[in-house]
Structure 1
Amino acid sequence: KQNLVYLHIDMDAFKLMKELRVNYDQEVHYLPKVTGLVFIESTVRISAKCRDAKVEDLWSLTSFFGYSTQTFVLAVNLLDRFLAMMRIQPKHLSCVSLSCLHMAAKVTEEECNLTPTDELIRIGQCRFTVSDLARMEKIVTEKLNFKSKAVTALTFLHLYHEIALSKETLSLEKLEAQLKACLCRIAFSKAKPSVLALALLRQEIEALQWEDMLEVAYYIQAHLKIANVELMLWSERVAQCLSDYASPECSKPNHRRLQWIVSRRTAQNLHSYRSVPELPTIPEGCWDESESEDSCEDMMSSGEESLSSSLGSDAEGSFFPPHLRRQKQRQYLFA
């Protein structure tokens, strides 16, 4: 009987390692173009700062609607791949990011939990129509050849956690929260998902000072043939990022849905009909580095407001970006 138990464990481990290898071979097909990411970091048209702000907004929305980490990570993956491939105007960025979130939610969430499109646009405080969002989703789907899945760092994080022998000690919830914090910075979009997930796992194991678990991480690294130099590079960047988000409640992220406290005027605007000007035709060309670049401020001048400016007192989750946590100090009183 004991031999049968060991055989069962070995078979499960074999299946997990096989699945790990399959995803490792496929991850290259879901990576943003590095040249596109580098261009974003060096331009002011859609700058890294603008991109990161939109990802933080997506984080706020997924928390507000109670969406899963899988939805957030997939939405960020779609957004980065699209931005790294296509040339878009700053005024279209909100439509693109919300489209990516809606597409991701339709894949990962139960249909009964999906937020209606018009409500998604209202809560997102965006000035485009349901038809605009539908057109943008079609463009993103066609350009990325998106069907129903993507191999992301979360894919590997779940597999690594499953392979770990003592999963109860390694909090998957905490690892997911740390991954979300990293994804709020465009620099981490350059990392291979398998490497980023392993860097997060090692960071947590080292924090626990658990030598036995470190052997598991070494085994995974050897199985996937991840170079030490590459892993150490991203481990250092992960450590720096997480230190920026350090909090006494680090091991117990706050997963309460966000609650907005807004003025009466804002509430009326959110719940009343408002005319929405149709967006200009969306250019479908690829990056052209020779073109003149618009300022990031153009995005804000078009009337789009960052969600973080509307967050209420519940934006104090352990891994929320600092500027969202500082919003806790503001009070939004009814007029």
Structure 2
Amino acid sequence: MESTSPEIHSGVSAKCRDDKVEELWSLTSFFGYRTQTFVQAVNLLDRFLTIMKVQPKHVPCIGVCCLHIAAKMVEEESNVSPTHELIRISQSRFTVSDLSRMEKIISEKLCVDPKVVTALTFLHLYHSAVASLLAEREEIPSIGRLEAQLKACLCRLVFSKAKPSVLALSLIAQEFEALQSATLLKIIQQFQKHLRIGDSELLHWKELVTKCMIEYHSSECNKPDNKKLVWVVSRRTAQSLQTCHFSVPGLPTIPEMSWDESESEDSCEDLTSGEDSPCGSLGSDGEGAFFPSSFHNCAEG
């Protein structure tokens, strides 16, 4: 599902923005950050791109910086990744100084509030309210499942245009409709009435959410939270690594029963003559203290 808006501001395309948000999701999963950290980072990124003239080449630095700011607001201090580690894992080309300068700019231009209300805020409120109203009479989707769906939606620029309360209700509504529960649907209608959300507005965003979920659950979707880190190296480095791989000398083959027994006895005497020898007494292949289990497995292979 591609965003319909061609660009956010000053040449930053929707694809550029969406790709960066997917990278932030991958980094969030890698560092074990909370969903709130990711949502806060996307909120900062979208707000900054909306009010500032940004060149596409600066988006990587801005995105990583937004994640770092969000992590410092949400995560425990001991869980926040150091800036140099964040830059290294994200394989970015900017420096720690660049990140610090960008962090200062973003903090000055935006109201960085850890208690800002987001779609995640409403999602938790709705889920808690439904759970309390049902009192375990019916099974409802887990909050973890709903959070994953919200993160998938935030990877598309089009959902940044939705009101947080409407987006969260659309997510829950499409999940409850799949369960075909009259009780759950009645609760959704109560929420909708209380928040004064029109039928057409809710239907519009619910259809977009459904379409996004179909694509997200398809086999062709490369989910950001399941992506493996891929290291990008230069051609020179790749050639160097390949040369090192092929330059490892192979050990000569030792023919069985082809040695002289007298030489074998002399060799054994030489090996066992010293009590302080680090090899200790000879045992069966691979069972000595200096032979790790991995070496033993290789020897058997």
Question: How high is the TM-score relative to the length of structure 2?
Answer: 0.69
Distance 1:63 1:224, change over 3 A: same
Higher relative contact order (CA 8 A, sep 6+): 1
Matched, 1:222 2:189: no
How many residue pairs align between the two structures? 227
What letter is aligned with 1:98? V
Distance 1:76 1:104 in 2: 9
- 1:85 pairs, out of 45, 51, 65, with 51
Q: Supply the RMSD in Å over aligned alpha carbons.
A: 2.7
- 1:175 pairs, out of 143, 146, 149, with 146
- Describe how 1:293-308 pairs up with structure 2 within 5 A: none
Identity %: 57
Q: Which residue of 2 aligns with 1:75?
A: 41
> Could you tell me whether the CA contact under 8 Å between 2:25 and 2:224 is conserved in 1?
no
Distance 1:46 1:246, change over 3 A: same
Q: CA deviation at 1:135?
A: 1.1
Q: Which residue of 1 aligns with 2:96?
A: 130
- Describe how 1:93-104 pairs up with structure 2 within 5 A: 93-104=59-70
Matched, 1:198 2:169: yes
Matched, 1:161 2:130: no
Q: Which residue of 2 aligns with 1:260?
A: 229
Distance 1:176 1:104 in 2: 17
Q: CA deviation at 1:148?
A: 2.4
Per-residue CA deviation, residues 187-242 of structure 1 (Å, 9 max, x unaligned), is 00000010000000000001111110111111111111111111111011111111
Q: CA deviation at 1:169?
A: 2.3
Q: CA deviation at 1:147?
A: 3.2
Structure 1: gaps (5+ residues): 1-36, 270-335
- Describe how 1:3-152 pairs up with structure 2 within 5 A: 40=7, 45-152=11-118
What letter is aligned with 1:49? K
Question: How high is the TM-score relative to the length of structure 1?
Answer: 0.63
> Could you tell me whether the CA contact under 8 Å between 1:107 and 1:149 is conserved in 2?
no
What letter is aligned with 2:144? E
What letter is aligned with 1:178? Q
Distance 1:203 1:90, change over 3 A: same
Q: Which residue of 2 aligns with 1:3?
A: none
> Could you tell me whether the CA contact under 8 Å between 1:71 and 1:109 is conserved in 2?
yes
> Could you tell me whether the CA contact under 8 Å between 2:84 and 2:96 is conserved in 1?
yes
Greater C-alpha Rg: 2
Q: CA deviation at 1:38?
A: 5.5
Distance 1:264 1:87, change over 3 A: closer
SS at match of 1:84: helix
Q: CA deviation at 1:260?
A: 3.2
Q: CA deviation at 1:71?
A: 0.7
Distance 1:260 1:235 in 2: 33
Distance 2:127 2:79 in 1: 27
What letter is aligned with 1:57? E
Q: CA deviation at 1:132?
A: 1.1
User: Which segment is superposed worse, 155-164 or 104-113?
Assistant: 104-113
> Could you tell me whether the CA contact under 8 Å between 1:161 and 1:172 is conserved in 2?
yes
Distance 1:85 1:264, change over 3 A: closer
Q: Which residue of 1 aligns with 2:261?
A: none
Q: CA deviation at 1:44?
A: 7.6
Per-residue CA deviation, residues 129-175 of structure 1 (Å, 9 max, x unaligned), is 11111111111111112132321110000000000034852211111
Structure 2: gaps (5+ residues): 239-301
Q: CA deviation at 1:40?
A: 2.2
> Could you tell me whether the CA contact under 8 Å between 2:122 and 2:165 is conserved in 1?
yes
> Could you tell me whether the CA contact under 8 Å between 1:71 and 1:101 is conserved in 2?
yes
Q: CA deviation at 1:122?
A: 0.7
> Could you tell me whether the CA contact under 8 Å between 2:26 and 2:224 is conserved in 1?
no
Per-residue CA deviation, residues 283-327 of structure 1 (Å, 9 max, x unaligned), is xxxxxxxxxxxxxxxxxxxxxxxxxxxxxxxxxxxxxxxxxxxxx
